[in-house]
Amino acid sequence: MFRLLLRTIGVLLLAAGCAMLIIDGTRSIAGSSLQMTPLGETCFKLFPTTFPLLQPAVERQIHPLLWDPFLLGFFLLPTWLVLTLFGLLFFWVARRRAAAIGYSSRP
């Protein structure tokens, strides 16, 4: 049951990653230059009131160094890349473990 849920989330993330790749490709063709939508811009469009509060909360509650080198760089990555990587990660977590065939059970 849990594996099915993880695979479903993985499929949805991969589909969203493909859709964002097509959107970025269409914008690049229309603009005659490479244009990729950063994850931060996508998050700001999805959560316009709560996303700007993330930076002060992380800097105040956790640590200021977490925001500037790590999360800022993460939010500058292309959206399609992040969604695809998370989709593949969900598939990897939900994979079936290989059967232990051929190993000796003798001490």
Please check whether residue 100 lies inside any domain of the structure: no
Separation in Å, CA 3 to CA 16, 36, 90, 93, 97: 20, 32, 9, 8, 12
Tell which residue, 1, 23, 2, 11, has the closest CA to residue 88. 11
Within 13 Å, how many C-alpha atoms sit on residue 91's CB side?
11
Q: Do 42 and 18 have their domain in common?
A: no
* Average pLDDT of span 5-9: 94
Q: Do 14 and 42 have their domain in common?
A: no
Q: How far apart are the C-alpha atoms of 51 and 105, rounded to whole Å?
A: 54
Q: Which amino acid is at 77?
A: L
Q: Do 31 and 17 have their domain in common?
A: yes
Q: Say if pTM beats, i.e. exceeds, 0.85.
A: no
Please check whether residue 102 lies inside any domain of the structure: no
Q: What pLDDT digit, counting tens, does each position of 42-95 carry?
A: 999 999 999 999 999 998 999 888 888 899 999 999 999 999 999 999 999 998
Full residue range of the structural domain in which residue 43 is found? 38-77
More confident residue, 99 or 48: 48
**Cβ atoms within 10 Å of 81's Cβ, excluding its own:** 15
